[in-house]
Structure 1
Amino acid sequence: MVLHIGTHKTATTMIQQKFWTNSPLLSERGVIYPRLDNNHGHHGLTAPWSPVEAVDPGFLLAGGAVEAFGALARRYAGEDVTVFLSSEEFSRSGPNNGVDYGELRGYLSDFDEVQVVCVLRPQWQFMQSVYVELSKVMAPPEPARFIITSQKKGVFAGLWGDYNLLLDRLEGAFGAENVTFLDYETCTEGVGGVVGAMLDVLGLDPTDDGLRDMCLGASNVSAPALACWVANQLTAPDVASDWLVDHAQRALKAEFGEPLSTCVFSRDEMYSLQKWCQPLNDKLQRRRQAVQPGFQMAPLAPTGVNLFREDVSAAFWLRMARIGFGLLMGRPEAEQGLSRPTFNTVQ
């Protein structure tokens, strides 16, 4: 049994879609990706601990999670196969103190071996991606709140900011030797990307001609982070629409040029986050290297970012106002706001 627990925003949707679609092909190679229902991920299995019904009532399994665990054991525990389960909901830290991994391990006790795999991103990337994801359904907290909450409690938005706390729980239930942490950036740069990394964990070859198509494409790609923040400032407490995020991104490019790599945090916030996270990530790296030689976390420094939140200028907001006024007036030429404004000088 291999249990893939996320984390969120580490290509989990793509992994689940690819494995669900290709489950017959995988079963020929000894890997079972159960199709419990029409959901690509196994989110319904987390229902005893995670608020999946609040995320999407359609995630709930008809017979309940406990019965589903029992059915999987009865069907596959005695077979010479590897069952692969995947849901990022298994990595939640809350509400209600998150997943009880000891209880989860008990549900899987009929399997002779249970391995846990978890993919991690540098915390600023993780927090930024979660901010964007929350923006789809609500007016999210200001980005700085994620940092402040993490520094106080080690968690933010019901997710782990200190990955050592997650590792403590996993090792306590499954044993250090049965936990594998993977660095997201290392996975994306490897053969087959993150899907290829999962295939490798399962003992499959991502260069296998029959599996190559699994490693292509992307799913649930995040919207540009700073454009989401701009749109949220204009619509809060309501949810910003996709078209407004799109206009904001185009306006950012028009104002600041391309290529554009943005960050919702300020430079001071990034410094605070790095000061807090770096010792924790160094500790995590040492802990993992004892059982995973060569494991390394990606650097915390925001390499390549060329536009931080405090760089959003008054000139940019003027551009957005021109676009917004044009759209409000129903002018099809409203997108002239995406060109640099000119001013007449009175002589």
Structure 2
Amino acid sequence: MTKTIYLHVGPHKTGTTVIQKACLDNTDVLDKHGVSFPSLYFTPIGHHDLVNTVRRRAISDEDLATLASGHEKALLSSENFIHFSAQDWKYLSERLAQFEVKIIYAWRRSSLKMYSMWQESVKHGGTTPFHAFFYQDLIRPGESKSLMQTLNLDAMAAAFGKDNIHILDFDALSESKMLVSEFFNLLGVDGTQIDISGQSQGFRNESMDPVTTEVLRCLNSLSVKAGYPQNSKTREVFSALQPTLDAEMEQAKSLMENDVDTFEVGDYFVDRATEHALKSKFMTNLVHYKAQKRTKNIKVANQDWLLKPQAYQLISAMHEKIMKNY
């Protein structure tokens, strides 16, 4: 019987970390259902090394032999798979030709995930303000892979076949608290047996409040100006020091008190346009699709707070503390 490889491609901010941790916490359940979560290409907490391996065109015969061994199904999961080009997908399909390949993609309404994606960039060293972060996407939504998600799905379908793509309605499944169980059901695993009670232990990718996000963005800017690489190091040190920064964070909150804007997102033109495009091409691939107007409020600190003399002094003093522990 041909072995099946499931490629969980995320994308970012669609519960990928929760699902990956559920795989690690429930290997016994996966084993019982004949599904492996391989160590090959694995770096905490997903199969992120496969990305560079594909880009280097370096999937070896030994790698394929490892994937072919063991259970009749294997799951490879990384939200970074979403950054593959059409040529990357073609190469991957050619190297995995001996397997049946299924793709699992979680679709989240475009504007509902925009804030989360920006915040994720800040966590990894980003310095761009919210409104600038998506400027190019919003002026050309039809060319944006972040917003017009069919662009990525078309490339996957060309490589592996449209019928081999499963698209989870992230928003509907999150509302019903069925995202994790439905994901595992697609693998042939009884989702009701998956225990996620340990999700509070170890690695969690939690959202940040608007004040913390803005403070971190400013700290990232100072790190970049000081010549440090743009990565997550500033956040890691900042997070470790947060218990000692209560007074500074209270001051930042006070300084931003009148400079936090609220926006309602979820029913923009780009949401309706991209949802229409998805349904037109991939309606039969959608899992638990629920047509419903979904909106939420997001809060973003505007940069006017930086005009206050105390603001730069505060951020500079906090950055000095961070540099001493960098």
What TM-score comes out, normalization by structure 1 length?
0.68
**Residue type at the aligned position of 2:270:** W
Aligned residue among 74, 86, 95 for 1:83: 74
Indicate if the aligned counterparts of 1:44 and 1:65 stay in contact, CA closer than 8 A: no
Q: Distance in 1 between matches of 2:255 and 2:15?
A: 30
For residue 21 of structure 2, what is the aligned residue in structure 1? 17
Structure 1 range deviating more: 318-327 or 35-44: 318-327
Secondary structure of residue in 1 paired with 2:192:
coil
Q: How far apart are 1:126 and its partner, in Å? A: 2.7
Q: 1:215 to 1:171 in 2, by over 3 A?
A: farther
In 1, Cα distance between equivalents of 2:252 and 2:171: 29
Which stretch of the first structure deviates more once superposed, 119-128 or 197-206? 119-128
Amino acid in the other structure paired with 1:66: S
Match of 2:204 among 202, 206, 219: 219
How well do the aligned residues superpose, as a CA RMSD in angstroms? 4.1
Tell me how far apart the structure 1 counterparts of residues 291 and 222 of structure 2 sit (CA, whole Å): 36
What is the aligned partner in structure 2 of residue 336 from structure 1?
none
Measured in 1, the distance between the counterparts of 2:43 and 2:288 equals 38
1:127-146 superposed matches below 5 A: 127-146=114-133
Shift of 1:213: 4.2
Call closer, same or farther: CA 1:215–1:155 in 2, change over 3 Å.
farther
Instruction: Give how far 1:40 is off.
Output: 3.2
Shift of 1:294: 5.2
Letter in 1 for 2:209: P
The structure-2 alpha-carbon separation of the partners of 1:49 and 1:34, relative to structure 1 and needing over 3 Å to count, comes to: closer
Contact 2:169 2:287 in 1 (8 A): no
Deviations along 1:285-309, whole A, 9 cap, x unmatched?
Answer: 33222343752477463x244x444
Q: 1:279 aligned to 245, 266, 273, which one? A: 273
Between 1 and 2, higher relative CO (CA 8 Å, sep ≥ 6) is seen in 2
- 1:26-56 CA-to-partner distances (Å, cap 9, x unmatched) read 11221111122564311112214459xxxxx
Alignment match of 2:213 (pick from 191, 214, 228):
228
Mapping 1:1-12, distance limit 5 Å: 1-12=5-16
Is the aligned partner of 1:101 residue 2:89? yes
Q: Cα–Cα, structure 1 residues 133 and 304, in superposed 2: closer, same or farther, change >3 Å?
A: closer
Letter in 2 for 1:123: S
Matches within 5 A, 1:1-347: 1-36=5-40, 37=42, 39-49=44-54, 65-67=59-61, 69-76=63-70, 81-92=72-83, 97=85, 100-111=88-99, 113-151=100-138, 152=140, 160-191=146-177, 193-208=178-193, 211-213=194-196, 216-217=199-200, 219-225=204-210, 227-233=212-218, 236-238=221-223, 239=234, 241-242=238-239, 248=249, 252=253, 267=263, 274-292=268-286, 295-296=289-290, 299=293, 301=295, 303-305=296-298, 307-310=299-302
* Contiguous gaps of at least 5 residues in structure 2: 224-233, 322-326
What percentage of residue pairs aligned between the two structures are identical? 21
Unaligned runs of 5+ in 1: 52-63, 331-347
Q: How many Å separate the matches in 1 of 2:11 and 2:148?
A: 13
Q: Does the aligned pair in 1 maintain the 2:128–2:217 contact within 8 Å?
A: no
What amino acid sits opposite 1:128 in the alignment?
Answer: Y
Aligned residues: 295
